[in-house]
Amino acid sequence: MTREEIIKPENLVYKKPVLLNDNTMHYCPGCSHGVVHKLIAEVIEEMGLEDKAVGVSPVGCAVFMYNYLDIDCQEAAHGRAPAVATAIKRLWPDRLVFTYQGDGDLACIGTAETIHALNRGENITIIFINNAIYGMTGGQMAPTTLLGMKTATCPYGRDAKIHGYPLHMTEIAATLEGTAYVTRQSVQTVAAIRKAKKAIRKAFENSMAGKGSNLVEIVSTCNSGWKMSPVAANKWMEENMFPYYPLGDLKDKE
């Protein structure tokens, strides 16, 4: 087959979304962040919201999200993305406004902002990358670190007596009256990626339709912080994270 025949529209099975530009990502090979960026770009393109999407980037490994997604973006101070997104959405109600936050940013430093924005029913979507660790700063314990899990700041493993219990932010979000759609997904297999994409689409549609707040948690790997190969990290996540953070929809108001 010639190249021309292969790239005929009827033969096209996959195309990189235009909104995901060609800048080389700084993420470690095997990291979940890049996959989720791609899904966000695909969904925005499929919804035709290229000129209406505003992403709010976190402090953490995804701090440079705006370098990879060709949409309007605003950087927020650590943990404050939901407050910034609230202001943007209230000022421009016709925009698709979403935050993109790690577990350190969302479930520790920004716990208050997250809970209150969700509880107020702001018409935004929060994408929550839960890799159970502070990736960017060298793998310290996060609120979501599993019991027994070793990190730079709990080298003998997280101990409930000393460090408390892992925080179930998504379960908390599901109890709040302002939330419309709350779900927990992952991106370690093709099937999981497809489901995660559907979840992001639903959350974005709810945000545009003014149905309330939406939280999409993506249980993720940080293979560098976990000191594992990408393949081993995926296996570890399936065996250890999924039992504690089970996948699926926790709340769907429809």
Ligand X SMILES: Cc1ncc(C[n+]2csc(CCOP(=O)(O)OP(=O)(O)O)c2C)c(N)n1
Residues making contact with ligand X (CB under 6 A): 58-62, 78, 102-105, 109, 129, 131, 133-137, 142, 222
Give the one residue of 104, 135, 143, 212 binding ligand SF4; rule: CB under 6 A: 135
3-state DSSP call for residue 127?
strand
Q: Which amino acid is at 204?
A: F
The pairing of strands 125-130 and 96-102 is parallel
3-state DSSP call for residue 235?
helix
The answer to the question of residue 170 lying near ligand SF4 (CB under 6 A) is no
Binding residues among 31-90 for ligand SF4 as defined by CB under 6 A = 31, 33, 61
Give the one residue of 225, 234, 245, 250 binding ligand SF4; rule: CB under 6 A: 225
- Give min distance, CB of 120 to ligand X, in A: 22
The answer to the question of residue 101 lying near ligand SF4 (CB under 6 A) is no
232 burial via Cβ count (<10 Å: 0-12, 13-18, 19+): middle
Q: Which of ligand SF4, ligand X, none is residue 31 near (CB under 5 to 8 Å by kind)?
A: ligand SF4
Q: Which of ligand X, ligand SF4, none is residue 170 near (CB under 5 to 8 Å by kind)?
A: none
Q: Which of ligand X, ligand SF4, none is residue 28 near (CB under 5 to 8 Å by kind)?
A: ligand SF4
Q: Which amino acid is at 50?
A: E
CB distance 237 to 227 below 8 Å: no
Instruction: Choose between 101 and 224: whose C-beta lies nearer to ligand SF4.
Output: 224
| Distance of alpha carbon 74 from alpha carbon 86, whole angstroms | 12
| Distance of alpha carbon 127 from alpha carbon 26, whole angstroms | 19
Q: Identify which of 128, 170, 132, 129 has the alpha carbon closest to the alpha carbon of residue 154.
A: 132
Instruction: Choose between 142 and 208: whose C-beta lies nearer to ligand X.
Output: 142
- Give min distance, CB of 233 to ligand SF4, in A: 8
